[in-house]
């Protein structure tokens, strides 16, 4: 769940991006997992969903392990549009430098998404 105000709009990085509407000082937490907003879908249950939903979850969710089981976490807000950067402005959900209002929020997929290699074309 995002802890800052954002909007989604076209990104220079990829497709759509998540942009902050406010100044975020270095060290401020910008996102926190909240089960009420961010559902967990266990991979064992994915095949029971329509193909269109499987594709959506594959693209918009991130792969993780919860309770020793593989799953997809679907961010329930604009954070699902945060794009990868090799020089992200957030690390472990905290601003690692001052972020100006209007800037795109970025993260390092390699640090949390078990499917980063596929999503990023195995580049590191």
pLDDT tens for each residue of 98-111: 999 999 999 999 99
Tell me the residue ranges of DSSP E strands in the chain.
6-10, 16-20, 40-42, 62-66, 69-73, 83-84, 90-91, 94-95, 106-107
- What local confidence, expressed as pLDDT, does residue 100 receive? 98
Helix (H, G, I), strand (E, B) or coil at 119: helix
- How sure is the predictor about 124, in pLDDT bands with cuts at 50, 70 and 90? low
Q: Find the CATH number of the domain harbouring 14.
A: 2.170.270.10
- Give domain status of residue 20, yes or no: yes
The count of domains in the chain is 1
Domain span at residue 73?
A: 6-119
Longest dimension (CA), the chain: 43
- Give domain status of residue 43, yes or no: yes
- What local confidence, expressed as pLDDT, does residue 67 receive? 87
- The residue among 124, 74, 100, 105 whose CA lies nearest residue 11 is 105
Q: Side-chain half-sphere of 20: how many Cα atoms within 13 Å?
A: 22
- pLDDT greater than 80 at residue 42: yes
- Give domain status of residue 81, yes or no: yes
- pLDDT greater than 70 at residue 114: yes
- What local confidence, expressed as pLDDT, does residue 123 receive? 61
- Give domain status of residue 1, yes or no: no
């Amino acid at each position: 769940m995002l802890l800052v105000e954002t909007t989604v709009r076209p990104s220079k990085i990829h497709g759509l991006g998540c942009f902050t509407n406010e100044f975020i000082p270095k060290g401020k937490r910008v996102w926190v997992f909240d089960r009420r907003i961010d559902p967990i879908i266990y991979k064992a249950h994915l095949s029971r969903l329509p193909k269109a939903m499987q594709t959506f979850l594959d693209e918009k969710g991130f792969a993780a392990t919860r309770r020793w089981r593989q799953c997809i976490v679907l961010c329930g807000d604009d954070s699902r549009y945060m794009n990868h950067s090799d020089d992200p402005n957030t690390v472990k959900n905290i601003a690692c430098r001052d972020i100006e209002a209007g800037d795109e929020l970025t993260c390092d997929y390699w640090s949390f998404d078990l499917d980063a290699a596929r999503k990023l074309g195995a580049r590191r």
